[in-house]
Amino acid sequence: MSLYAQRGVSAQKEEVHAAIKNLHPGIYAHSFCKIYPDYLVGDEHFVNISHADGAGTKSILAYLYWKETGDISIWKGIAQDAIAMNLDDLLCVGVYDNLLFSSTIDRNKKLISGEVIKAIIDGSQTFFNQLKDFGINIHYLGGETADVGDVVRTIAVNGTITARWKKNKLITNDKIAAGNVIVGFSSSGQATYETAYNSGLGSNGLTSARHDVLSKYYAEKYPETFETSLSSEVVYIGKNKVEDKLPIGDAFISIGELLLSPTRTYAPLLKILLEEHFYDINGIIHCSGGGQTKCMKYLPRPLKIIKNNLFDIPPIFQLIQENSKADYKEMYQVFNMGHRLEIFTDEKTAFSMINIAQQFNIEAKIIGIVEPSEKNELILQGSFGEIQY
């Protein structure tokens, strides 16, 4: 059993998918988000979309970092995580403007101060203001902040995003087909709209990242940051502390900052790609939970996906793997490993998209192809050899 599973976490969320299998799939079965008829107005030319996500266990890491360093600003990144994980899912169905966001924050008041809550709420509004400069308007409707110390050990930061969108401007993934190429967009580096280097980690796999990288020192000092029934063999088994530094380019960045890099949103880039290349986009995948295997869930027919030109693995993932000793198959299934967005299109359009991405200082390239198959297959090829899913 993988370390991820031993910690009570599932990269594929098998039990969740089993629990919801009888729910309405939406009007487009293969779209990245569920899409429903326009129940709000009743216009057959529009659809309604609502999506919920959050920062996950990254908020526990933020708590630990805050307690160790006193840096309250780290919570602004958690606000961005909760928003970006929602926003970038909606971007995958073509939605990029006039969105409604409601936050849900559950805290243990004995450990999480009002100062933290304020930093999260202010951070949310700051992020919305930044996105507005790129023509992406998200309206902050407030939400629920609850003191539920009997339920949460520290804090959980989540949100819901809602949109009403034109039906003829949707990306449903139904056009994904053999012959498509796949453009990957790097999750690491520093985009023009980011203020610092982004490790690329995002908000998935943080349970493993935290326990695999950080030392037992934190288990002893902050028992509120983990499930105490877990075996000590899977709790904080790494060798590092949050203030240890890694060389990144010409700089040295703390491991805490790398683990807590705010989730990159691709919204400024995708807005342009959707406006200029809407009819050339066959599918969009946000490589979040499930990492590089995420695409398999949204294929409209049996196909073989071959990813044979993957990005170099960013340092944060190398660090996690060195500490955990996880094999590449598990790493690519839990983490994005270098790109968190991929677009299925034709080769000519692919090169245009790559050039547009360069304007935002986001590395992009053709990372794979789609071939015919009698079953859904995914093959990853690289210096690690070949991995099949």
The interaxial angle of helices 267-277 and 74-91, nearest 10 deg, is 20
Q: Which of 252, 224, 248, 226 is nearest to 237 (CA)?
A: 226
What would the pLDDT profile of 266-316 be if each residue is shown by its tens digit? 999 999 999 999 999 999 999 999 999 999 999 999 999 999 999 999 999
Q: Looking at residue 60, what is its pLDDT?
A: 97
Q: Looking at residue 25, what is its pLDDT?
A: 78
Categorize the per-residue pLDDT at 260 as very low, low, confident or very high, splitting at 50, 70 and 90: very high
168-187 burial: b if 16+ Cβ within 10 Å, else e: eebbbbbbbeeebbbbbbbb
Residue 360 has pLDDT above 90, yes or no: yes
What would the pLDDT profile of 175-233 be if each residue is shown by its tens digit? 999 999 999 999 999 999 999 999 999 999 999 999 999 999 999 999 999 999 999 99
**229 exposure class (CB count in 10 Å sphere: 0-12, 13-18, 19+):** exposed
Q: Which helix (H) or strand (E) segment is 370 a member of?
A: strand 364-372
Q: Which of 9-18, 30-39, 66-75, 135-144 has the lowest mean pLDDT?
A: 9-18
Categorize the per-residue pLDDT at 364 as very low, low, confident or very high, splitting at 50, 70 and 90: very high
Report domain extents, the chain: 3-196+261-388, 214-258
Which two structure tokens, joined as six digits, stand for 128? 């919305």
Q: Looking at residue 10, what is its pLDDT?
A: 54
**342 exposure class (CB count in 10 Å sphere: 0-12, 13-18, 19+):** buried
Which two structure tokens, joined as six digits, stand for 5? 């599973």
- Look at the alpha carbons of 318, 320, 323, 329 in this order and tell me if their dihedral is positive or negative: negative
Q: Looking at residue 24, what is its pLDDT?
A: 73
Q: How far apart are CA 244 and CA 129, in angstroms?
A: 33
Which CATH number fits the domain 3-196+261-388, given the four candidates 3.40.50.150, 3.40.50.1580, 3.20.20.70, 3.30.1330.10? Answer: 3.30.1330.10
Q: How far apart are CA 351 and CA 364, in angstroms?
A: 9
Provide the β-strand partners of residue 161.
51, 101
| pTM value surpassing 0.85 | yes
Strand 138-147 to 99-107 pairing: parallel
Categorize the per-residue pLDDT at 23 as very low, low, confident or very high, splitting at 50, 70 and 90: confident
Q: Looking at residue 295, what is its pLDDT?
A: 98
Q: Which of 204, 207, 195, 208 is nearest to 263 (CA)?
A: 204
Say if CB 378 and CB 296 are below 8 A apart. Answer: yes
What would the pLDDT profile of 310-348 be if each residue is shown by its tens digit? 999 999 999 999 999 999 999 999 999 999 999 999 999
What would the pLDDT profile of 48-58 be if each residue is shown by its tens digit? 999 999 999 99
Task: Quote the percentage of the chain above a pLDDT of 90.
Answer: 93
Residue 21 has pLDDT above 90, yes or no: no
**59 exposure class (CB count in 10 Å sphere: 0-12, 13-18, 19+):** buried
